[in-house]
Structure 1
Amino acid sequence: MYGITTNLIGQHRRREIALYRALSRTGVDPVVEPFTDEVERRVTASAARQRLAGALAGLSRKHRDTLLLVMWAELTYEEAARALGVPVGTVRSRINRARSALRRALRGLDPAAEDGGRDR
């Protein structure tokens, strides 16, 4: 029993020493760093969410409704056109205008968050 305990304590001590050496080389604590990254991501997402809500509120109702049907409800342009009772070209135009307005309003946020103009 003492032999097993001695081995486990030795393994723990070696891991701890390796961790301290890595910390001294990189300055990054592998235990704490993932948590701080997550906190930073959440704070950034919260700020983006507030700006997005304000930008969506600034859209006209027809542009906001069209954008939400396509992006949030995941309807195709054709399905959104049927739901709104408008031609597909009108849906495409509204989506384009809504995206342009949102890009202007959200300028300065992480560009990876943009959808890159994918078409449905």
Structure 2
Amino acid sequence: MREDRQVLSETLDDSVLIGQSLDEPESFAALFDRHADEIFRYAARRLGPELADDVTGEVFLVAFRARSRYDRAWPDARPWLYGIATKVIAQHRRAERRRTQAMAKVSPERPGGFDDRSADRVTAEQLQPRLAKALGRLSAAERDLLLLVAWADLTYEDAAVALGVPVGTVRSRLHRLRVKARRALGGIDPFAAEEPQHG
């Protein structure tokens, strides 16, 4: 019987699971199983692995407590969870700032050999300190948006839901971020390979 319930929960979309958890709180665990690894990876990239476990736990605790307010018109809870993660991460912003400053101080080391390493990787390593400095100069809102799109791979629409802003605001902020990033990196566009996201 328990296995049947687990198989059923794996086929339900997130909004149904959240609705179901209002009467059966234990069914919220399926949402955790589905998305915790992704939220952990995002938190680890933002704050480092030492804080990622705490952030992930906090995100799902906040989500569980707020589940009755979830807009069930959205079948995928990822944007909602990333929105919560963004707020929890903001509480840990000092640690993120220290990590970004440390990254900016690290000088890129030249690899010993170029056997299987691509030129793209070497270029990215050389740009890392400059990129870290540029990230450090962004406002919290700009940094949150950039990292939701770049690291969490959210669409513009999902990022708008996560941050609670119109999609037009996401588009205009990202345009300004491109200009700032190009200026900080001496004319190199770190988004050049990206396809614009529509839909």
With normalisation by structure 1, the TM-score equals: 0.58
Per-residue displacement from partner, 1:57-107 (whole Å, max 9, x unpaired)? 111111111111111111000000000000000100111111110000001
1:119 aligns with 2:196: yes
Segments of 5+ residues of structure 2 without an aligned counterpart are 1-112
User: Cα distance, 1:38 vs. partner?
Assistant: 3.9
Q: Which runs of 4+ in 1 moved over 6 A?
A: none
Amino acid at match of 1:106: L
- 2:178, 2:191 within 8 Å by CA — same for their partners in 1? no
- 1:78, 1:88 within 8 Å by CA — same for their partners in 2? yes
**Which whole-Å CA distance do the structure 2 matches of 1:39 and 1:71 have between them?**
21
Q: 1:48 to 1:79 in 2, by over 3 A?
A: same
Per-residue displacement from partner, 1:21-46 (whole Å, max 9, x unpaired)? xxxxxxxxxxxx843x8497665432
| Mapping of residues 1-120 of structure 1, within 5 Å | 34-35=114-115, 38=117, 44-107=123-186, 109=188, 114-116=191-193, 118-120=195-197
Q: 1:89 to 1:39 in 2, by over 3 A?
A: closer
Q: 1:39 to 1:94 in 2, by over 3 A?
A: closer
Structure showing greater Rg: 1
Q: 1:118 to 1:43 in 2, by over 3 A?
A: closer
Amino acid at match of 2:182: R
User: Cα distance, 1:47 vs. partner?
Assistant: 2.1
Q: 1:39 to 1:88 in 2, by over 3 A?
A: closer
Would you say how many aligned residue pairs link Structure 1 and Structure 2? 85
CA RMSD, 1 decimal: 2.7
SS in 1 for 2:177: helix
Percent identity at matched positions? 53
**Which whole-Å CA distance do the structure 1 matches of 2:163 and 2:191 have between them?**
25
Segments of 5+ residues of structure 1 without an aligned counterpart are 1-32
Farther-moved stretch of structure 1 (43-52 vs 99-108): 43-52
With normalisation by structure 2, the TM-score equals: 0.37
User: Cα distance, 1:116 vs. partner?
Assistant: 4.8
